Chains A and B, each alone.
Chain A
Amino acid sequence: MDKQEIYTRLNEVFQDVFDDESIRVNDKTTADDIDDWDSLEHINLIGAVESEFKMRFKMGEVSGMKNVGEMVDIIAARGK
C-alpha cells in the first residue's frame, strides 16, 4: 500500500481517537507530541489502527514502536 494513503487514513484515526482535527502526524511523531497520548489511550489507538487497516500488531510491536514512521512501516507490510 502507498505510504501517502496510509498517512491519510492514519491521520484520520489519530484525529478521531484524540478528537482533535488539528493533528497532523508524520514519521517522526511520538507520544510526546500529542497531549492525550498516554499509555491508556495508546491501547485505544492501537485498537483503532488495527480495525482501520484490518490487521493485527504483534505483541512485541505494540510496545516496541518508537514513532509513527515505524507504525507505518508495519502497516505497509501487513495492512489492507
Chain B
Amino acid sequence: MQTLAYPFDGAYLMKKRKAIKKQLLLENPPAVTKKIAVLGGSTTNDIVNMLELFLLDNGIGAEFWQSEYARYWQDAMFGNEELKAFAPDIIYIHTTYRNLGANLSVKMSAQEINNLLEERFAHFTAMWEKLAQDFGCTIIQNNFELPNYRLLGNLEASDVHGTVNFVTRMNLKFYEYAQTHKNFLIQDINWLSASYGLEQWAEPQAWYLYKYAMALPAVPVLAQNLANIIKSALGRNKKALALDLDNTLWGGVVGDDGPEGLEIGEETASGEAYLAFQNYLKSYKDIGVLLTVCSKNEEENALAGLNHPAGVLRPADFVNIKANWDSKDRNIEQIAAELEILPESIVFVDDNPAEREIVRSQIPAAVVELAPAPEDYIQSIDRCGYFEVTSLSADDLSRTQMYLQNAQRKQASRSFENYKDYLLSLDMRAEIRDFEPVYLSRITQLTNKSNQFNLTTKRYTQAEMESCAQDSRAIRLYGKLTDKFGDNGIVSVVIAQIRADEPRTAEIVLWLMSCRVLKREMEYAMLDTLVAQAQARGVTELYGYYYKTKKNAMVSRLYADFGFELVSEAENGDSIWRLSLENYQKQCTVMQINPKTE
C-alpha cells in the first residue's frame, strides 16, 4: 500500500491505524500468519500496532503476545505459561540502554566496569539461551541506542567510564553472539536512531510519560525496520530491480543527447551522483538481487548508454533488458514471465512519476518513490528494505550468473529439433541427497520463497528445518543440478513423512522446485530418488497433496503427470493423490543422479 511505502507519514499511520488495518485486510488478505512474541523492557504497544500494519503490507498476518511492562527477562527466564501456550514463531526482544543498568561512576575501576559489562552481557545471553531452548525459534534482539546526554562529553566515547563507551562495547558483544548463532538476529536501532536523529529519537517526555524508549513519531520507523527483518527471515524479500535508464541511471536522454552527452562519471557533481547510484545498484548483484532494464528507448541506444566508459553498470550486469516503446507495466510483466518470477517480486525504479503511477495502477510490482534529485536516489531505495539481508548464502553471490546461463540454455535449445536431445546435450548431473548441515540455510531460504512450483506451500523457519533434519521418520531430499553451462545450486526440496501408525505409507508434506529449472526433468529425478529411498525403508505407497494457492496452478496436475491416482479433490481445488510403489519404473532419462565419479 502506498501509504506504508517509504517515505511514509508516521503521524498519519499512528492516527489512522485502525482504518488502514481494515483496508489492508480487505485488499490484501495475508498469505501466511505468524505468532510473534514481543518481550519489552519498555512500552511496546504502539510498536506492535505499527508492526502489524507493515507486516500485513508484506502479506504477513500476525498474532501477537506482549510481556507485561518491562518483564521481558522474567517472562523468558522463569517460564511464563501464557507465553509457552502461545508458542511463538518469532520472538522480538525490545530493550533500551536504560535496561542495561549501566550505572557507571568515575570512581569505579576499569576492572569493576569490565565485570559489570560481563555481568550485564550474561544477563542477556542467559535469556537468549533459555528462549532458544524453550522455543527453538528465531530471536530478534535490538542493540542499544546511545544515551542522549554525556557527562564526560567527548571522552565518553573512548574512556571506560563513559556510558557511550559501555553501550558501544555491549553492542559489539551482541554482534559477536549474532555471528555465532544462526537464529539470532540483531535489529540495529543504534543506526536507526542515528539516522533518525538521536536528539529527536530520545525524547525524554516519551520515556517519563509513557515509558517508550523513543519519541512516538519514531515508532513507525522502528516498526517498518523490524517488519523488514521479519519478512526477510520469512523469505518474502523482493527478487529483482527493474530500472529505467534516462535520468535514472544517468543524466540526460541517450536517444536525444547521444552517449557522449550523458551526465555520468566524475566530471560533474550530478555525474558523480549518478555514478554512485550505479555503483550502489551493481552491489545488489552480489546479494543475489537480479538487475533488469525497463526503459522507453531504442535498444541500440540503451546499450550505448550502458557501455558509456565512465559508467560502471554494463549490459552483462543485467539478466534481462527491455528497451522498447511498450508500456512499462507490460514490460515488467514480460520480465517477470521470462525470469519465471512473480510481478510482485519486482521493484520498479523510475524518475518519472507518470511511469510510476501507470505501473502502480496496473500491476502489483513494488514501486520506489524515487527522490526528485539523483543525489538522493540511493536513500529512496535503501530505506524501503525490499532486499533486507538476514543471511548470505553462496547462491546469492552467483544468482545473476545462473540466470545468464539460463538465457544461454534457452538460446541453445533453439538449435535442437527434439527437446530430449537438447536435454541430453546439457550433460546434466543431479545431486539428490538427504539434507546436509551446510545446505540447511539455502534449503530453508528456497522453501520459504518458492511459490509457483510448490505443492503445499508449507513454510519452515530455520529452527523448524533443523528439527526436521533430526526427524527419523522423515525422508528428506535436496536436489542440486549442474550442467555444462554451470551449477544451478540447490533447486528442489522434497520432504516425505513416514506415518507413525502405518510405516508402509509416507506422506509428501513438501515438494517444491525453483522455476529456473523448469522443464529439465529435475522433478522426475527427485521422484525417482524419493521412490528408491522410500522403498529402501519399507514404504509401499506414497500420498501426495496439492494445496491450491493463487500462485501454484502450474503444479495442480503434477501428481497426475507422475502417475499418481486421484484419491479426492475438494471444492476449493485442493487434491490428494496416491502412488503404489510396486512395479515403479524410473521416469527421468536425461541426467545422471549422484554420479559415482564425484
Contacts and interface: CB of A to CB of B under 8 A. Distances in A.
B19 interface: yes
A19 B19 contact: yes
Nearest to B20: A19
A48 B209 contact: no
Contacts, number: 43
B19 A16 contact: yes
B16 interface: yes
A59 interface: yes
Interface stretch (A3-11, A39-47, A68-76): A39-47
A18 interface: yes
Contacts of B49: 44
A22 interface: no
Given A43-B210, A44-B46, A51 B15 contact: yes
Contacts of A17: 15, 18
B11 A48 contact: yes
A44 B209 contact: no
B18 A47 contact: no
Contact of A59 (B16, B46, B209, B212): B209
A23 interface: no
A56 B18 CA distance: 24
Given A44-B46, A47-B217, A59 B205 contact: yes
Interface in B15-51: 15-19, 22, 43, 45-46, 49
Contacts of B15: 13, 16-17, 44, 47-48, 51-52
A16 to B, nearest CB: 5
A65 to B, nearest CB: 13
B440 interface: no
A59 B208 contact: yes
B14 A48 contact: yes
B216 A47 contact: yes
Interface string B206-243: 00111010001100000000000000000000000000
A34 interface: no
A48 B49 CA distance: 15
A16 B19 CA distance: 8
Interface string B181-205: 0000000000000000000000001
A44 B14 contact: yes
A17 to B, nearest CB: 6
Interface in A24-62: 40, 43-44, 47-48, 51-52, 56, 59, 62
A48 B19 CA distance: 15
Given A43-B216, A51-B11, A62 B18 contact: no
Contacts of A18: 18
B104 to A, nearest CB: 27
A48 B18 CA distance: 13
Interface string B328-372: 000000000000000000000000000000000000000000000
A51 B212 CA distance: 18
Top 9 A-B residue pairs of the complex, sorted by shortest distance between their CB atoms:
A19-B18, A51-B11, A48-B15, A47-B216, A40-B45, A16-B15, A43-B210, A16-B16, A19-B19
16 contacts: A18-B18, A19-B18, A19-B19, A40-B46, A43-B216, A44-B46, A44-B216, A47-B14, A47-B15, A47-B216, A48-B14, A48-B15, A51-B11, A51-B15, A52-B15, A59-B209
